[in-house]
Amino acid sequence: MSIAEIRDRIATAARAVGRDPAGVTLIAVSKQQPLARVEAILSEGHRVFGENRVQEAAGKWPEFRARFDAVRLHLIGPLQTNKARQAMELADAIHSVDRPRLAATIARIAQETGHCPELFVQVNTGEEPQKAGVLPAEADGFVATCRGMDLPLAGLMCIPPVEEEPSLHFALLRKIAERNGLAGLSMGMSEDFETAVRLGATHVRVGSAIFGARPAPAG
Ligand SMILES: *Cc1c(COP(=O)(O)O)cnc(C)c1O
């Protein structure tokens, strides 16, 4: 699908529930995609991208930023504490704040540098053991912890379990955000971004629908 087509679909979904389509940011998830494909999307004028690994982002985005102005990079994958500094240098937003030690490290670096990306707290709405994110029951407490560290929280993020109805997870995330006074909702991917927009997503993370299937990892 072209970026224009995805934008149209987002706009249709937003208007269906009386929302302004401008309130939805389309993050083009470029992880593992050939650089030529990413460059083509940049050349079409799109500027908001997502990566899930710090190392991979560091390998491509400084150069793209030098060639294309106003790029906004969102880091959407799990973040190791020892990569926080590099992540904060590279990204305009981090969607995977999910534990006190990481939050404390980000807060310390932010104080030292005077700079902090927009932050989203990842919530493990499906309570999947292998998945990152705070449990729904711990979300309010963790949001308070982050606020106590003066972290600039933009909102919440979730990745629903693959085999479940995503709308239940999107609705849960929205409820947690509302009761915590958070405006940002990072939810919805290639298969379900329209559902997410209808349920209030402010950021959708769309990869394969834009770029095509990711190449299978080597090995
Ligand atoms: C890869 C990824 C996406 C995009 O997934 P698609 O199904 O390709 O749209 C969205 N969010 C996160 C956190 C991802 O890692």
Task: Residue 33: give its domain's CATH number.
Answer: 3.20.20.10
Residue 178 lies in a domain: yes
Closest residue CA from atom 6 of ligand 1 = 207
In a domain, 65, yes or no: yes
Q: What pLDDT shows up at residue 24?
A: 98
Confirm if 209 and 194 have CB atoms less than 8 A apart: no
CA-191 nearest atom, ligand 1: 7
Q: According to the model, what pLDDT value does residue 215 have?
A: 78
Name 197's Cβ contacts closer than 8 Å, sequence gap at least 6: 10, 13, 14, 17, 19, 24, 188, 204
- Supply φ then ψ for residue 47, to 5 degrees: -130, -5
Q: What is the pLDDT of residue 117?
A: 98
Instruction: For ligand 1, say whether the CB of 189 is within 6 Å of any of its atoms.
Output: yes
Residue 218, in any domain of the structure: no
Rg (CA), the chain: 17
Whole-number Å distance, alpha carbon 63 to ligand 1 midpoint, is 23
Helix-helix angle 166-179:136-148, to 10 degrees: 40
Tokens coding 2: 């072209």
Please say whether the beta carbons of 168 and 186 come within 8 A: no
Tell me, yes or no, whether 130 lies in a domain: yes
Q: Is 76 in the pocket of ligand 1 (CB under 6 A)?
A: yes
**Is 144 contained in some domain?**
yes
pLDDT tens-digit profile, the chain (219 residues): 899 999 999 999 999 999 999 999 999 999 999 999 999 999 999 999 999 999 999 999 999 999 999 999 999 999 999 999 999 999 999 999 999 999 999 999 999 999 999 999 999 999 999 999 999 999 999 999 999 999 999 999 999 999 999 999 999 999 999 999 999 999 999 999 999 999 999 999 999 999 988 877 654
Cα-to-centroid distance, 204 and ligand 1 (Å): 9
Q: Could you give the residue ranges of the DSSP H alpha helices within the chain?
A: 3-16, 35-43, 54-67, 84-90, 100-113, 136-148, 166-179, 193-198, 208-211
Which single residue is written with the structure tokens 């460059």? 39
CA 67 to ligand 1 centroid distance, Å:
25
Cβ(201) to ligand 1 under 6 A? no
By residue range, what is the domain housing residue 146? 3-211
Residue 15, SS3 per DSSP: helix
Number of domains within the chain: 1
Q: 219 lies in a domain?
A: no
Q: How confident is the model at residue 184, as a pLDDT? A: 98
How buried is residue 119: exposed, middle or buried, by Cβ count under 10 Å (0-12/13-18/19+)? buried
Question: Residue 120, CB half-sphere, CA atoms under 13 Å: how many?
Answer: 33
CB atoms closer than 10 angstroms to residue 189: 19
Answer whether 29 contacts ligand 1 (Cβ < 6 A). yes
pLDDT of residue 218: 58
Distance 113 CA to ligand 1 centre (A): 30
